[in-house]
Structure 1
Amino acid sequence: MSKFDEIRPYHDHEVNAALNGVARHPMMKALMQFTFPDEEEGFWLSQFKGIHSISEFQHRFISQTVRQIIRQSSEGLSTSGFDQLDKNTAYLFISNHRDIVLDTSLLNLVLLDHGLIMTSSAIGDNLVQKTFLHVLAKLNRNFLVQRGLSVREQLESSKLMSEYIDHLLHSENRSVWIAQREGRTKDGNDATQQGVLKMLAMAACEQPLTQFFKKLKIVPLSISYEYDPTDALKMPQIMAQFKNEVYIKSSGEDFKTMLSGILGQKKRIHLHAGKVLDSELDQLECTSEGKNKQLQAIAKLIDHSIIQHYRLWPTNYIAFDLLNNSGQYSGHYTEEEKQLFERRLEMRINSSDTELKKSFLAMYANPVVNANKESRMSMP
């Protein structure tokens, strides 16, 4: 047995049995009916028998599912920066995190369409408690991030994950996706948690830290949705934090959020692949003292790229102006777009609750605030 067996996705020789084991599951049937609405059940059942690798499953089925999601729940997906990446190189994509399923699914579709190496992607094991979801995650080359562990267990788990990511990148030449923080960003403030970088650095051994991170070929990834289909679902946790209360998820909340993210309206979506962190890391080696200082500096580099290339939509500017009772950004949206957003606000939350309304608007407005901060910091 490999030491990675507890967290790894399926090996190709395991795919056929696993896929056909869930082929008649009601959730698989629903997924395939959504993907191929004009086909009978026998269509995919017969094709499943010939699938013997994750790549085949992703190319022939999951990519079609994601295209159908884009068609039915958005006004299109645009991209930038991916033409600067090498088709034979494995990269570590570190991205802002908005949606449980779609962030990594959209990235892999873009990588597929650009002929780039698709990712093995991190997913919390709390999200795949149902047997079907666990199997589907492993069929999509997800590896498990173990949650709810003791401090000692967490340390061992982080070390294992660090070694596995290093193994994927350098032994399998497999790209990897991880979020810049644990859990989704719910307030629109995208910031890299130093703990994520500490986990990665566990595999550095005796290498200088900046040289280790240079070998990871980090690509900061900016993911921007015009509408967040889970915006209202994020409000209870934000309000609990506002009131200094402990937030406890309800039963089935994660699954409901996954479905809402997939099927909910997103309008336009944009993914930007930033430049690979390289020479900037050489400069850090000369100027930053101590491991923590270097990790802080690397986090800032990632944040700068993600925020700088985050696509700001009319919804972001509208929310900023509504929150600040201003018309500062009125040139970035039409009156019709403003009315549509205000109607969405009224439909999604109780807008008579002042604090709730402020939090909802801040979720959309904060990317504008952060972009302005980055712009000021970059000025000579």
Structure 2
Amino acid sequence: MDKYADIRPYNDNEVADAVARLVADNAFVDLIAKHNLPSWVAPMRFLSRPLVRWQLQRKWGNVASVRQVQLEVVHYLEHIVKTTTSKVTFSGLDALDKDSAYLFISNHRDIVLDPALVNFGLHQHDMNTVRIAIGDNLLQIPYITELMRLNKSFIVKRSAKAPKEMLRALTQLSAYIYDSLDEGHSIWIAQREGRTKDGHDQTDPALLKMLQLNGRKQKKDFADYVRELKIVPVSISYQYEPCAQAKAKELYHKKHHGEYVKQAGEDIESIVEGFTTDKGHVHLAFGKPIAHGCDTPEDLAKTIDRQILESFYLHPGNYIAADHAEAIVDTESADVKEFAERMNLIPEHLRDLVKAIYAKPVLRKEEMQG
């Protein structure tokens, strides 16, 4: 019996059928048309749909394995890196064992790009790509589910509400992560539920308690079990914060109205914006496997946070937003002028919130250094 069938990524023998469902999905085809065909053609469904289906069939018709899917994704990522970043750099990968499976726990700034760029770095260093944890809140649209599970994503059942149902889902998830690692498959999971909206990257101990559920079943001490998982913190730093204005809008709305309810399709818009907008220099710092400082979930959370914060790459905009421009650039430099121009494009009532996103890592590093 396949005990993970409802949450795991697709296997090779399921790829062809998943691709066929995508090609047949009008919503997916219309999305492709909107972003790839001339604006006058896309709304003409009788013309755009057959054209897009023909293109998809030509490109994906012979794809029959997860590896083939991932090689196509790499080509797309190379295009994104080339057209929407000035460069993407990595540190720490050379110190990792290419033959080991790791549990990568990273800060979370962009819904899809964060794990995609982790995979990009691993691929460039001839390491196996990760299985990606993704919340079921993002899987309300059938074609998103197909795309994610084709690309080695597994499902985190956030929608489970009843205590017994929630415990069952978390126990299954904990076991799946352990078994994946045990079978040699690395895992990526964000340090908390949802993206960081205010620039304050912080690990949720509840995530680490979930990991321990399987360890408790095996009657293993928390610290010993954590060492088995080979947790590697990853710090992702974007020169230009993805969806900064949308994040600030959500914070502003919560502050002034008490809550923020996402509109239908808002997550899809965030994913597209993350892919298409200018990100400048992106740096991913891979930390060291955690072997100490992990006797409790709270201790482990602090250890992960320390590595992520220490290795967080600070861009000129981070210093400028924190009013520390003199630390790296002349106050009349192009960096200062460009940052000011970017801030001027943000609605005035959101500007301080966006600025705070950039400033937070600098201020937290200062606090840490005392």
TM-score w.r.t. the length of structure 1 is 0.87
Q: 1:334 to 1:86 in 2, by over 3 A?
A: farther
Task: Give the distance between the partners of 1:299 and 1:333, measured in 2 at CA.
Answer: 37
| Superposed CA RMSD | 2.5
Structure 2 counterpart of 1:156: 168
Q: Give yes or no for contact 1:314–1:333 (8 Å, CA) kept in 2.
A: no
Aligned pairs for 1:318-357 within 5 A = 318-321=320-323, 329=327, 331=329, 335-349=333-347, 351=348, 353=349, 356-357=350-351
Task: Give the distance between the partners of 2:325 and 2:282, measured in 1 at CA.
Answer: 25
Q: Deviations over 1:353-379 (max 9, x none)?
A: 3xx332221111001011112222xxx
Q: Give yes or no for contact 1:125–1:147 (8 Å, CA) kept in 2.
A: yes
Q: Structure 1 residue aligned with 2:352, among 343, 349, 358?
A: 358
In percent, how many aligned pairs have the same letter?
Answer: 34
Amino acid at match of 1:344: R
Structure 2 counterpart of 1:288: none
Structure 1 counterpart of 2:285: 272
Q: Could you say what secondary structure the match of 2:322 adopts?
A: helix
Give 1:337 deviation, angstroms: 1.3
Task: Give the distance between the partners of 1:333 and 1:311, measured in 2 at CA.
Answer: 20
Give 1:136 deviation, angstroms: 0.4
Give 1:43 deviation, angstroms: 6.6
Structure 1 counterpart of 2:145: 134
Higher mean displacement: 85-94 or 43-52: 43-52
Unpaired segments ≥5 residues, structure 2 = 37-51
Is residue 115 of structure 1 aligned with residue 126 of structure 2?
yes
Q: Could you say what secondary structure the match of 2:214 adopts?
A: coil
Q: 1:141 to 1:32 in 2, by over 3 A?
A: farther
Structure 1 counterpart of 2:304: 302
Aligned pairs for 1:187-206 within 5 A = 187-205=198-216, 206=219
Q: Could you say what secondary structure the match of 1:251 adopts?
A: coil
Structure 2 counterpart of 1:73: 84
Aligned pairs for 1:170-181 within 5 A = 170=182, 172-181=183-192
Q: Give yes or no for contact 1:95–1:221 (8 Å, CA) kept in 2.
A: yes
Q: Structure 1 residue aligned with 2:249, among 236, 243, 248?
A: 236
Structure 1 counterpart of 2:105: 94
Structure 1 counterpart of 2:227: 214
Task: Give the distance between the partners of 2:133 and 2:213, measured in 1 at CA.
Answer: 17
Amino acid at match of 1:363: I
Q: 1:332 to 1:116 in 2, by over 3 A?
A: farther
Q: Give yes or no for contact 1:90–1:169 (8 Å, CA) kept in 2.
A: yes
Task: Give the distance between the partners of 2:275 and 2:159, measured in 1 at CA.
Answer: 26
Q: Structure 1 residue aligned with 2:314, among 312, 315, 325?
A: 312
TM-score w.r.t. the length of structure 2 is 0.89
Task: Give the distance between the partners of 1:103 and 1:32, measured in 2 at CA.
Answer: 25
Q: Could you say what secondary structure the match of 1:331 adopts?
A: coil
Q: Deviations over 1:208-262 (max 9, x none)?
A: 1000000000010000000013000111221133336021111211111111111
Is residue 256 of structure 1 aligned with residue 269 of structure 2?
yes
Q: Give yes or no for contact 1:225–1:269 (8 Å, CA) kept in 2.
A: yes
Structure 1 counterpart of 2:11: 11
Task: Give the distance between the partners of 2:111 and 2:325, measured in 1 at CA.
Answer: 34
Unpaired segments ≥5 residues, structure 1 = 286-293
Structure 1 counterpart of 2:362: 368
Give 1:25 deviation, angstroms: 4.7
Task: Give the distance between the partners of 1:248 and 1:158, measured in 2 at CA.
Answer: 25
